[in-house]
Structure 1
């Protein structure tokens, strides 16, 4: 367990060091090979792994935090993209099904036993209609209360889909400064070494400065993808919110149509003939 932070640091530093070092990742997964690499890194202070091993504990902590943040950014982005694709596909199919039906009367057979945002909207509309009765004077109140419940369902679905995007924003905005803190700390230690050694030989202080600059490099490695991924997710979530609004409007229109048809039926005593519904364009 004590080697877990070192393994995480190794993976991140190999990614920073370039394709040549990345080819050795499979070999480093072997425990013996990994320990040999660590021992060799102690002698090669100018390699990324060697600079990490030789860095001050504060700089090491900064690097490990940035590597963890970078890994979290990739995990969150990939997970949210897959969830968004799935939810958009389900929402599009449910929208088309309800639009094809044209009424909530037959909806329970297709929606009440299914999960999804549109199914919850349909269930809320049917529940409100059943609770309020069928009186003509209740029609406006039914539509208002059902619309309020549908709006809350839309807001809840959008809020759940936005979870995790704030982490990308925080990493993108703070990672460079965290890396800069590690750099400042490392350079400060290098100047202290200069004063203690009573020499200005660059070969003595260069390793410490390189270790410090590595912290800034890892901070940029974490921040740049975070900013890009956040912008991609923000656009995708914005499109998903538009689809939610379209689905909510469809449920409200369908409920209003059913209430009007029911009122006509009660007034005339016969079931009015309905025109063939023209399918509208599904939410995109």
Structure 2
């Protein structure tokens, strides 16, 4: 009885093996994984890829936006209109400041050379008529000291032609009129030499604040961009902040030379003013001496 049961089990197993060998579809279904598992694993990969690539794509876009590198020119080109206007205005102010420097350097150089020549010639005069002749020479035309000498001697000549006495008891009144004529020329001298100083003072005082305005406006736009892009990655936000800070840099670039030029020319103006004051005293003393001599 026991042997017959074993024989039946063996026969059943042999029949199942023969059935599986004769049916390829069944064998393949047993060897391969279930269809439900494979698509599920494959579907997870495409869904995760966009999220993983989002940050590199943003950084790549920011890099390509600035041409792969940040330079002052690229920062200027990518700045907003308001910041560009600020930068252009400051650059023009800087150019005008350097132009004023060159103009006034040539002006003071020519002024001092002509003044030296005039003083050398003027001190050889022996009479008031000689003084007037030297002061009105064409080569000294426009020189402040020559204009002072011409104004003083002309006043004396006008007094004589009017029949007024310029000697004796009337000497003081004649010298008073000559002094007033000299002072009028000196007043115009101060205005003439200070030309352009107001512009330099303005650029030196407000230049940094104008640049700061451009920086504040640019940084505001940068923070708005940070909020809209929902990222704090420095590769994305740094270029906008750098563009804004460039405005302050240009403001300082315009202001610092303007302040230096302003102080330098103030010193030159004061020095020439002292020289003019000394010549005025020398001129009036010479006129007084000639009038005492009756010349």
TM-score range, shorter chain: 0.7 to 0.9
1:119 aligns with 2:146: yes
1:214 aligns with 2:246: yes
Q: How does 1:176-187 map to 2 (within 5 A)?
A: 176-187=208-219
Q: Secondary structure at the match of 1:105?
A: helix
Q: Give the structure 2 partner of residue 198 of structure 1.
A: 230
- Flag the structure with larger Rg: 2
Alpha-carbon separation, structure 2, partners of 1:194 and 1:233: 47
Asked if 1 retains the 8 angstrom alpha-carbon contact of 2:131 and 2:153, the reply is no
Asked if 2 retains the 8 angstrom alpha-carbon contact of 1:176 and 1:220, the reply is yes
Q: Give the structure 1 partner of residue 16 of structure 2.
A: none
Q: Number of residue pairs matched? A: 224
Distance change >3 Å, CA 78–CA 249, structure 1 → 2: same
Q: Secondary structure at the match of 1:96?
A: helix
Choose the corresponding residue for 2:74, options 39, 50, 75. Answer: 50
Alpha-carbon separation, structure 2, partners of 1:45 and 1:171: 32
Asked if 1 retains the 8 angstrom alpha-carbon contact of 2:214 and 2:248, the reply is yes
Q: How does 1:123-134 map to 2 (within 5 A)?
A: 123-133=150-160
Q: Secondary structure at the match of 2:83?
A: helix
Q: Give the structure 2 partner of residue 80 of structure 1.
A: 104
Q: Give the structure 1 partner of residue 93 of structure 2.
A: 69
Alpha-carbon separation, structure 2, partners of 1:121 and 1:148: 10
Asked if 2 retains the 8 angstrom alpha-carbon contact of 1:45 and 1:207, the reply is no
Q: CA deviation at 1:219?
A: 0.8
Large movers: runs of 4+ above 3 Å: none
Q: Secondary structure at the match of 1:124?
A: helix
Choose the corresponding residue for 2:114, options 84, 90, 97. Answer: 90
Asked if 2 retains the 8 angstrom alpha-carbon contact of 1:58 and 1:182, the reply is yes
CA RMSD of aligned residues (A): 1.9
Q: How does 1:183-262 map to 2 (within 5 A)?
A: 183-262=215-294
1:147 aligns with 2:156: no
- TM-score (normalizing by structure 2): 0.72
Q: CA deviation at 1:109?
A: 3.1
Q: Deviations over 1:4-47 (max 9, x none)?
A: xxxxxxxxxxxxxxxxxxxxxxxxxxxxxxxxxxxx99625611
Distance change >3 Å, CA 185–CA 107, structure 1 → 2: same
- TM-score (normalizing by structure 1): 0.74
Q: CA deviation at 1:108?
A: 3.3
Unaligned runs of 5+ in 1: 1-39, 266-284
